[in-house]
Structure 1
């Protein structure tokens, strides 16, 4: 294994790349503001004939994600389409009509149930759990849900996780996500079903949308993923068989502070299998 260097520009990596599958949170915005250089990089890539599919673990439908992007100043021209873990979770609900759901998550995620025949009940009456996040991610952690999860385990309720992220950035802070609750439930012996990265269905859907835009399927050796999470973005890309550009300014920023090059031992410790390249933040 050789050392892993930082690159300065996306333009240095996309020769022969026809499709980019880009993370959103941590790549084009931090939850409070967008990153203009990142948006411009993806827009420029599209102008030169590339296709950009945004893939996100947001527990909301793609149209809700798009509205958030617009509010943060991310232009529609930045990308071709959006695939969200929220959409995949909605498909699960639609495939289980009439089942009773106990929902864990903040009110802002209510769009995940929009237009579905979703029957909300207390935990004791539920057939399964949908988890989109914490009720209050400003103050809570997964441990606050331990008693609830133990009760769910006793009822043998599957937990459908609509956002496999453990943490994401919100400004300069890290906040817990649905993945933290789902992982704790699994540790406690409960059944957790994950939609979103690093799991294969979100990549399959993204590639299907790319094929629609381009008029034909794209070979995986001409696809590049971009993200800032080892657990979701890098692991998901490698598991799907595509290269990954890893951004270090996101949730792993402290681990990369002051580093310009990683030796083989550090690469193995941080990544296991390395990404194609490192970049601090996305720019053309």
Structure 2
């Protein structure tokens, strides 16, 4: 795994995965920002997965999506992703679902059975099979389950009053997607993580699921059992979640420079900006590529 040196220099930049694949035995792949933009698959994504498969390099998809893993797979298949490539997916939403179902963590010791959902209707499958009672009023809730803004294009400021009320009521929050923002079809939109971060700033208690927490990588390591962590790389576009998560989990981070940081990094990525972001998030990429192409 790449160690953080005292003086950070930019990692080597390659044209695609062909120059990197031979260095590792297996891969953990981010989804949104690496394989698709929320609407369509990126050019070259399927070909690159085919090339990895042909080279005998297994992969697991790990995504900070606030929906069940099955829903993530269905959406990618609808975009044109071969079903065979969607066999091993773990979403932060799946981890959230399992936690809400199990409730064994001390976090739930003083939490009642009523929750309020902040998030769009497309995330409602997160609650299927759970015995939580849902309410539309913060005053009647015991827990906030945050999967993101109700409407694309809203800002954190649009939720200020509701978040402040939740803190005043002492409601804990579950964040099913730690991402602060995402690029959807070329447009930046806030995610659940932006709302959760503001909730913490206001004094609220948040339980986070997904990258960069090391725990969510354990599923990947079970699927990739038999492979040494030193020979596994995690490909992602976000320093805060993907690269920091890889660092926390003990595997090499590979930066897709044209993702969420694309505008500030440039192409090829500017060495000083890569170094600055690596320092900020304590996550130094072992290498970078412009996009997930072969």
- On whether the aligned pair clears a TM of 0.5, the verdict is yes
Deviation string for 1:5-62 (max 9, x for gaps)?
A: 3101212112252221100001111011102412211222122222110000111111
**Among 127, 131, 141, the residue aligned to 1:117:** 131
- Give the Cα separation in 2 of the matches to 1:12 and 1:5: 11
- Give the Cα separation in 2 of the matches to 1:85 and 1:250: 19
Match for residue 232 of structure 2? 223
Matched pairs, number: 276
Unmatched tracts of structure 1, length 5 or more: 212-216
Partner SS for 1:68:
helix
Deviation of the 1:267 alpha carbon? 3.6
Runs of 4+ residues deviating >4 angstroms: none
Q: Per the alignment, do residues 266 and 177 of structure 1 end up closer, same or farther by CA in structure 2, a change over 3 Å counting?
A: closer
Unmatched tracts of structure 2, length 5 or more: 1-7
Deviation string for 1:214-247 (max 9, x for gaps)?
A: xxx3211011100101111011111111101101
Q: Per the alignment, do residues 43 and 259 of structure 1 end up closer, same or farther by CA in structure 2, a change over 3 Å counting?
A: closer
Deviation of the 1:145 alpha carbon? 1.0
Deviation string for 1:78-122 (max 9, x for gaps)?
A: 354000001111012102397211110001111101111121022
**Among 185, 207, 216, the residue aligned to 1:193:** 207
Q: Per the alignment, do residues 53 and 258 of structure 1 end up closer, same or farther by CA in structure 2, a change over 3 Å counting?
A: closer
| Matched ranges for 1:1-284 at <5 A | 1-96=8-103, 99-121=113-135, 122-138=137-153, 140-211=154-225, 217-259=226-268, 262=271, 265-272=272-279, 273-284=283-294
User: Contact 2:237–2:261 (CA<8 Å) still a contact in 1?
Assistant: yes
Q: Per the alignment, do residues 51 and 80 of structure 1 end up closer, same or farther by CA in structure 2, a change over 3 Å counting?
A: farther
Partner SS for 1:4:
coil
